[in-house]
Structure 1
Amino acid sequence: MRAEPQDFGRVLSSMCTTPHPAAREAAEQFLATNPGDPDTYQAVADLEAEAISQLAEITGLVNPRGYVASGGTEANIQAVRAARNLAATPEPNVVVPDSGHFSFQKAAGVLNVELRTAPTTDEYRVDLDAVSALADEDTVLIVGVAGTTEYGRVDPLGELSRIARDVDALFHVDAAWGGFVLPFTDYEWRFDQVPIDTMTIDPHKMGQASVPAGGFLTSSSDILDALAIDTPYLESTDQATLTGTRSGAGVASAVAAMDALWPEGYREQYDQSMRNAEWLADAFTERGFDAVSPTLPLLAVDLPDGLFAGLREQGWRISRTSAGELRIVCMPHVTREQLSAFMTDLDALRARPRTNS
């Protein structure tokens, strides 16, 4: 095979990053193991238990339960699936902010659950009054996002949890991207700060594990039991995961990354990423562009179509928010030098003489 993996030097909008060296090495060692059959592959099963214990420490979860999923999509689907399976209503619905990840649309379609979408406010956080109006006796799950994928915002999780309790629904927090930066902020998002039933947190994003390595956590054995099915031909007798066979690479790399980086390495990473996001916001503002002030290391900027297209032609891997802004995520691989080069290319494009069409 002559193909080479893409270099991350101009990747500015991805929520994946280059894995930590220890995570890369661990992933290669455990490629052929299958945590989906834990009684056969005991070593990787022990590592998965360690991964859940480490994620529990990060998220403030006592008596942790869960598993290493393929990513946020699987974990979010599992949260919806558990809520549906535990509910008594034949017409279940789930209330999600419109800033929620598109995986909830997949979950609703796969699981035949009604998806109700609540708008966000001018601050890009979910509108609590809208959530209250949408939730009813058939609501089985309410979702809050801790680090939205477009603006890096954290929903008012405590208030959302109270709304969920008022209608006897479960409360799920999607911290897939935010889970490894929020520990170093003042936000209340942990299990020991907010009544939370399930959570998504992905080591393969800011956690610097290799792909795929997501996390599904719950505070209740009943929730995990609601996901379990019998596995008669395996040594283990049941399975709560959505996928069957899973590579142990994600499990091992998640443990290796957290061993190497929690907590001080992640703290240093967060500080650097936030400094980069704030520097970039100032650089755009100085040039007269409207930038959404970053509260986590993610920036959205109102950038004209021509400049966006020109930057793409220069090889920059960038994307847009649903509202059309340029979206840049200051992941661990994103350096100040990269951002400076990006702004240099932007300045050169702006300086080009315009031609009449």
Structure 2
Amino acid sequence: MQTPEPQSFDRVLSSMCTEPHPAARDAAERFLATNPGDPGTYEAVADLEERAVGLLATVAEHPSPTEASGYVAGGGTEANLQAVRSARNRHPDADVNVVAPESVHFSVYKAAEVLDVDLRTVPTDDDHRADLAAVEAAVDEATALVVGVAGTTEYGRVDPIPELGRIAHDAGALLHVDAAWGGFLLPFTDHDWSFADAPVDTLTIDPHKCGRGVVPGGGLLARDPAAMDALAVETPYLESRSQATLNGTRSGAGVAGAVAAIEALWPDGYREAAERAAADADWLAGELTDRGYDVVEPDLPIVAFDISDSTFEALRADGWRLSRTGAGEARVVHMPHVTRESLRAFLTDLDRIRT
């Protein structure tokens, strides 16, 4: 039986994953059989994971990147769940809540359900960012964690992270920043989002998204080792005696791919990609506006625009992989594989369908 070929990225406009960097692909293949879940046995990949955490911490401006705590997770969902779990475990109360804007990634809803935590979502403002007054009204003495998003999945918005940190810490809570998608774009903007910009306690950043690592390859970082200590369980039958990760066995491919991609691209390669994506997003927004579409002005490079159901389905029938926001707009995520050439082809098909 012939092995099928993987799907081409040529017409994929909605995904936050992309083609891995060639160096990441090669490194992942070399470490496919290693298990960073047992660092006592698999010492080479354990050392590599320390390098990965240090590199991710450098991107996220951790005050001591070489001493940062964290690990390479399966993705943003796992990292966000672990951030909630760590905050819950560190809070003195048994029944706690988490406060997050309604724009928070659906993984936080999963985390709240799995961990039996009360999730309090609050409205966003007119620009799709967390409403600070609503956050402040929602926190109380049982709040373990406030979540801010640095690169929302629908509109690419960045919440006011320093202000969320102040609210969280004033309430005795911790601050988690979900920069799963935005983390490799934000260093080249003027947004405040990182460990250096705000009192961030934990942060999600995914090398398998704009970092151009391989799937799976997420990242969880912590300012204080206590955040990881709160996750640790004993592992008496392994060579290593405790484990803070969610999955036991993990793929060394994600670890190796993350290191290879970041070492190949940081910072200049990522800067070039971020600037190109921003320019293409602005260009597409202008082209769509000129055609009479209502467009949500891009910040980080996601373009959302109103589109009829019939046009949306016709584009999908032509092979364009599109998705919608919760409000119904089509969204185009400007990942490295989305080129100006592919956007021109998209507009050509859009014009043909409209006529």
Does TM, scored on the shorter chain, surpass 0.5?
Answer: yes
Other structure's SS at 1:142 match:
strand
Other structure's SS at 1:150 match:
coil
Structure 2 residue 334 is matched with structure 1 residue 330: yes
User: Unaligned stretches of 5+ in structure 2?
Assistant: none
Residue of 328, 347, 350 corresponding to 2:351: 347
Other structure's SS at 2:144 match:
strand
CA distance in 1, matches of 2:101, 2:279: 28
- TM alignment of 1:74-93, pairs within 5 A: 74-93=78-97
Partner of 1:136: 140
Partner of 1:248: 252
- TM alignment of 1:178-217, pairs within 5 A: 178-217=182-221
CA distance in 2, matches of 1:192, 1:159: 14
Other structure's SS at 2:304 match:
strand
Partner of 1:354: none
Q: Say how many residue pairs are matched.
A: 351
Partner of 2:312: 308
Structure 2 residue 28 is matched with structure 1 residue 27: yes
Partner of 1:39: 40
CA distance in 1, matches of 2:347, 2:196: 41
Q: Shift of residue 294 of structure 1?
A: 0.7
Q: Runs (4+) of structure 1 moved beyond 4 Å?
A: none
The alignment yields a C-alpha RMSD, in angstroms, of 0.6
Q: Shift of residue 166 of structure 1?
A: 1.1
Other structure's SS at 2:24 match:
helix
CA distance in 1, matches of 2:313, 2:143: 43
Structure 2 residue 151 is matched with structure 1 residue 151: no
Partner of 2:59: 58
> 1:11-37, CA deviations, whole angstroms, 9 ceiling, x for partnerless residues?
000000000000000010000000000
> 1:131-177, CA deviations, whole angstroms, 9 ceiling, x for partnerless residues?
01110010000000000000000000011000001110010000000
Other structure's SS at 1:217 match:
strand
Partner of 2:109: 105
Structure 2 residue 277 is matched with structure 1 residue 276: no
CA distance in 2, matches of 1:339, 1:19: 20
> 1:25-80, CA deviations, whole angstroms, 9 ceiling, x for partnerless residues?
00100000000000111110011000011011111112311000000000000000
Partner of 1:355: none
User: Unaligned stretches of 5+ in structure 1?
Assistant: 352-357
Partner of 1:230: 234
TM-score by length of 2: 0.98
> 1:164-197, CA deviations, whole angstroms, 9 ceiling, x for partnerless residues?
0111001000000000000000011110110010
Q: Shift of residue 90 of structure 1?
A: 2.0
